[in-house]
């Protein structure tokens, strides 16, 4: 599932959905926190707790260089674009990855076109198991959080 909410740092945005439930925990979740959050995600899975992932695009929009994931996401975006006939970028790949990992992708945008594109993510082909494994492997090589100041690449 994909949720887009209004960004607090910009002007008016178009919310697709604001909130699902107050009982759904929100954590920063993307491939660059994977190694640290595996035990947390395993625990959530064990107790059937759905997690909302905020900052899912951090590897693309916040990491200073894009890191080890950059070429991997680019190649997968090209594969998805070719197979779907739609223009898929690295953000689309990360949102698919988040959803296929079982989390709710909580994203935001101030731009109508981007929000439409986010919503269209749910119509894209799925990532293959090999692609998910490749993203996981590249993600585990870096620890980076977009919402704390003590991150390192
Ligand atoms: N519970 C918590 O502690 C907590 C913490 C943080 C956030 N949140 C919630 O989670 C929501 C989503 O988090 P997030 O906003 O960090 O999600 P995100 O999906 O990681 O980032 C969305 C941001 O990335 C930008 N963006 C998207 N695609 C881009 C691209 N291709 N190139 C450049 N910039 C791009 C958007 O800017 P544009 O406006 O330019 O499209 C938007 O500002 C927030 O709105 C907030 O409600 C909760």
Residue 90 lies in a domain: yes
**Ligand 1 centroid from CA 55, angstroms:** 6
Q: In order along the chain (153 residues), what is the average pLDDT of each group of 10 residues? A: 45 40 81 93 89 95 97 98 96 96 93 93 96 98 85 52
Residue 127 lies in a domain: yes
Q: Over the Cα atoms of the chain, what is R_g? A: 15
Query: What is the domain range of residue 57?
Result: 24-140
29: nearest Cα among 103, 113, 90: 103
The answer to whether 59 and 67 have CB atoms below 8 angstroms apart is yes
Residue 131 lies in a domain: yes
**Ligand 1 centroid from CA 11, angstroms:** 13
Residue 2 lies in a domain: no
Residue 153 lies in a domain: no
Which atom belonging to ligand 1 lies closest to the Cα atom of 26?
1
Query: Which residue is closest in CA terms to ligand 1's atom 1?
Result: 26
Which atom belonging to ligand 1 lies closest to the Cα atom of 114?
41
Residue 9 lies in a domain: no
Ligand 1 pocket mutation pick from 25, 55, 91, 119 by most atoms within 8 angstroms of CB: 55
Structure tokens given for 30: 């993307």
Residue 95 lies in a domain: yes
Task: Report the domain count for the chain.
Answer: 1
Sign of the CA dihedral running 84, 89, 95, 98: positive
**Whole-prediction pTM:** 0.87
Residue 147 lies in a domain: no
Question: Dihedral (C-alpha) 105, 136, 34, 48: value to the nearest 10 degrees?
Answer: 60
Q: What confidence score (pLDDT) does residue 24 get?
A: 79
Q: What confidence score (pLDDT) does residue 137 get?
A: 97
Q: What is the CATH number of the domain that holds 103?
A: 3.20.20.100
Q: What are the DSSP calls for 4-50, one per residue?
A: EE--SSSS----S---S-TTS-EEE-SGGGHHHHHHHHHHHHHTT--
């Amino acid at each position: 599932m994909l949720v887009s909410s209004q960004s607090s740092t910009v002007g008016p945005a178009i919310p697709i959905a604001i909130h699902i439930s107050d009982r759904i925990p929100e954590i920063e979740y993307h491939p660059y926190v994977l190694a640290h959050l595996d035990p947390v995600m395993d625990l959530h899975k064990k107790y059937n707790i759905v997690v909302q992932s905020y900052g899912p695009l951090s590897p693309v929009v916040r990491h200073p260089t894009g890191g080890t994931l950059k070429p991997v996401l680019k190649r997968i975006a090209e594969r998805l674009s070719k197979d779907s006939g739609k223009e898929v970028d690295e953000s689309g790949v990360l949102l698919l990855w988040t959803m296929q990992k079982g989390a709710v992708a909580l994203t935001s945008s101030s731009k109508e076109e981007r929000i439409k594109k986010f919503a269209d993510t749910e119509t894209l082909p799925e990532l293959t198991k090999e692609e998910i494994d490749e993203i996981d492997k590249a993600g585990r090589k870096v620890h980076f959080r977009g919402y704390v100041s003590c991150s390192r690449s």
